């Protein structure tokens, strides 16, 4: 199953790169078809183990009809662990089979792509250096080598993922080459099938971080393996450790739900998109018009939901398995899963780049309708923000951008988005998350955090600034398409009015601010002086939103075409990036 890779011309130095040879392209050894057949037999064996245990249990229970004695209940219960153990074995074997089957399918894809590169390499002719086409062939050779290195790296990550999945599926087995509490010689303080041990109570993310830093590497691993959900959701735990814990939860959920397989089956059931409908009689026109069918619209909505989930898996794997071809050339840093809870509408926090080592961190707080099944849109926004910020920042400064859907957002804009309780409940969670980022950061020198709050997310952010006496753990706030932040002026947000920014499209493009101000805005009534006259009482009856001049925020220029378009276009991204990297003077303002 090994990938017999050949080193990619490490001896090439100095000026010209040599023309590529087919021997530089690695090739797979081993029969992947045989591996998949063995995987199918493995799944059948797991089913057989469970069937045997279940049959034994049911047969034994049948004796209860003919056996009456005081000890009958205890006797008949004796085979229950046999059936339960059979179920455990089947579940573990099924997870192993799925991991190996995924490995075989992904390996086939990589092998096919390597074969295509080998064919491209074979087509490059051998020409002299003074040949007019030599430079072009050199560029082609260099591109093939780069693509080959990318595929070899994808294969290495795929192998690591397979090993991790198998290790998590076989907790009782011998050492599988991975560190952890199930390594030889370790005696767990609790039984594997018992509930995970409760986490200690912490008064703040800072105290949680102090507790974690005081643990040994082995103790940390025990906590991650025994209570991944608790560690993954605990603010104040370093990003690399939260990521490992949350990926355990994510992998378990993925293996149970398999959105990729559901998407494949769903796409095979695509209904007709259009139906021919006759024109209305009152139009005095004859003929037909094509309209989208209700069945297709419902099918497409489900397709988008499943596609969002596989996009999350793709970003976590970093191998481009589900990424559109146009995006595959992008080179993003590793992702960190900082929170994952699939229950209900789902909550997730995913970072592009390590926020602990980053000098500049941006946290996107989305608004109405944001949830796990449509996180791909917000995830793409933070990826675009990372590209723009990273390009603008000095080469020695790291950037991390985070999609944070860590609270229950209003489901619908018409009625739910007018309610304040979603922001009240989410404010404490946002404060805790930001405090946790502040507690775990290790970047040397100047560092800053920017909250990019979109739509109702700005209401949640504004509420967070008012929920406690200490300021929010952020240096700057960008309110984007805000319906109001529950305060009347930027000075009330606790980060300084000069560090509060607003981005708002005109009313004919985005009406959220005008409609939302009556629910989440605030007035600035009070004694004021105008034009040098004596103070008088000004009845300010119209609530302020961040884009109002009276609010006092610095208004960033934008060319958004609607409420969701503030990350489409160079102007919008560059202005937000300038604030994120702490150089607001490079932004353009209205």
Q: How far apart are CA 449 and CA 407, in angstroms?
A: 19
Give 284's pLDDT tier (boundaries 50, 70, 90): low
Quick one: average pLDDT of 549-576? 95
Q: Reduced to 3 states, what is the DSSP secondary structure of residue 336?
A: strand
What's residue 582's pLDDT? 95
- Considering only CA atoms, which of 347, 274, 271 is closest in space to residue 312? 347
Q: Reduced to 3 states, what is the DSSP secondary structure of residue 348?
A: strand
For the ranges 297-306, 498-507, 521-530, the lowest mean pLDDT is seen at 521-530
Give 62's pLDDT tier (boundaries 50, 70, 90): low
Percent of all residues in the chain with a pLDDT value above 90, rounded to a whole number: 45
Other beta carbons within 10 Å of 268: 7
Quick one: average pLDDT of 493-501? 96
Is pLDDT above 50 for 317? yes
User: Which residues are paired to 448 by β-bridges?
Assistant: 360
Phi, psi of 358 (to 5 degrees): -80, 145
Do the Cβ atoms of 250 and 340 come closer than 8 Å?
A: yes
Is pLDDT above 70 for 453? yes
User: Model confidence over 188-203: pLDDT tens digits?
Assistant: 333 333 455 678 888 8
439: Cα within 13 Å, side-chain hemisphere:
21
Q: How far apart are CA 559 and CA 582, in angstroms?
A: 22
User: Model confidence over 241-256: pLDDT tens digits?
Assistant: 999 999 988 988 888 8
What's residue 61's pLDDT? 66
What's residue 452's pLDDT? 98
DSSP label at 360?
E
Quick one: average pLDDT of 310-316? 89
Quick one: average pLDDT of 39-43? 78
- Considering only CA atoms, which of 95, 34, 84, 23 is closest in space to residue 56? 84
């Amino acid at each position: 199953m090994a990938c017999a890779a050949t080193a990619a011309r490490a001896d090439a130095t100095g000026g010209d790169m040599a023309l590529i040879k087919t021997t530089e392209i690695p090739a797979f050894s081993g029969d992947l078809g045989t591996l998949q057949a063995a995987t199918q037999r493995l799944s059948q064996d797991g089913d057989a183990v469970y069937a045997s245990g279940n049959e034994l249990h049911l047969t034994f229970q049948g004796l209860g009809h003919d056996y009456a004695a005081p000890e009958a209940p205890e006797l008949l219960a004796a085979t229950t662990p046999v059936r339960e153990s059979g179920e455990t074995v089947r579940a573990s074997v099924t997870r192993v089979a799925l991991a190996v089957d995924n490995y075989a399918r992904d390996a086939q894809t990589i092998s096919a792509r390597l074969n295509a590169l080998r064919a491209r390499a074979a087509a490059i002719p051998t020409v002299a250096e003074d040949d007019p086409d030599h430079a072009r062939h050199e560029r082609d050779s260099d591109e093939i080598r780069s693509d080959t290195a990318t595929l070899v790296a994808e294969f290495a990550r795929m192998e690591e993922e397979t090993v991790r999945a198998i290790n998590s599926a076989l907790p009782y087995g011998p050492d599988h080459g991975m560190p952890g509490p199930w390594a030889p010689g370790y005696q767990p303080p609790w039984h594997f099938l018992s509930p995970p041990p409760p986490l200690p109570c912490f008064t703040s993310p800072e105290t949680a971080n102090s507790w974690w830093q005081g643990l040994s590497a082995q103790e940390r691993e025990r906590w991650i393996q025994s209570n991944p959900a608790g560690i993954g959701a605990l603010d104040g735990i370093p990003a690399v450790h939260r990521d490992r814990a949350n990926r355990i939860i994510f992998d378990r959920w993925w293996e149970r739900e398999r959105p990729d397989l559901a998407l494949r089956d769903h796409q095979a059931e695509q209904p007709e998109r259009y139906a021919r409908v006759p024109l209305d009689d009152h139009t005095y026109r004859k003929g037909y018009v094509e309209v989208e069918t209700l069945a297709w619209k419902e099918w497409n909505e489900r397709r988008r939901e499943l596609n969002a989930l596989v996009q999350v898996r793709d970003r976590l794997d970093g191998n481009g398995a589900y990424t559109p071809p146009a995006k595959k050339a992008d080179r993003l840093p590793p992702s960190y899963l900082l929170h994952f809870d699939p229950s209900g509408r789902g909550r997730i926090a995913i970072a592009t780049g390590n926020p602990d080592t980053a000098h500049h961190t941006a946290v996107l707080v989305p608004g109405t309708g944001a949830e796990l099944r449509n996180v791909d849109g917000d995830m793409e926004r933070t990826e675009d923000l990372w590209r723009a910020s990273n390009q603008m920042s000095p080469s020695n400064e790291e950037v991390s951008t985070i999609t944070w859907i860590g609270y229950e957002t209003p489901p619908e804009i018409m009625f739910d988005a007018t309610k304040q309780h979603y922001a009240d409940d989410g404010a404490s969670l946002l404060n805790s998350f930001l405090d946790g980022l502040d507690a775990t950061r290790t970047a040397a020198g100047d560092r800053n955090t920017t909250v990019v709050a979109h739509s109702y997310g700005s209401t949640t952010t504004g509420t967070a600034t008012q929920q406690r006496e200490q300021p929010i753990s952020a240096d700057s706030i960008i309110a984007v398409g805000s319906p109001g932040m529950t305060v009347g002026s930027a000075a009330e947000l606790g980060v300084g009015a000069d560090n509060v920014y607003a981005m708002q499209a005109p009313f004919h493009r985005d009406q959220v601010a005008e409609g939302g101000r009556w629910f989440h805005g605030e007035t600035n009534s009070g004694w004021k002086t105008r034009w040098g006259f004596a103070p008088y009482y000004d009845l300010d009856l119209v609530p302020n939103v961040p884009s109002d001049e009276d609010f006092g925020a610095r208004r960033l220029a934008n060319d958004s075409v609607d409420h969701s378009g503030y990350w489409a276009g160079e102007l919008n991204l560059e202005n937000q990036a300038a604030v994120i990297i702490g150089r607001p003077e490079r932004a353009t303002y209205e």
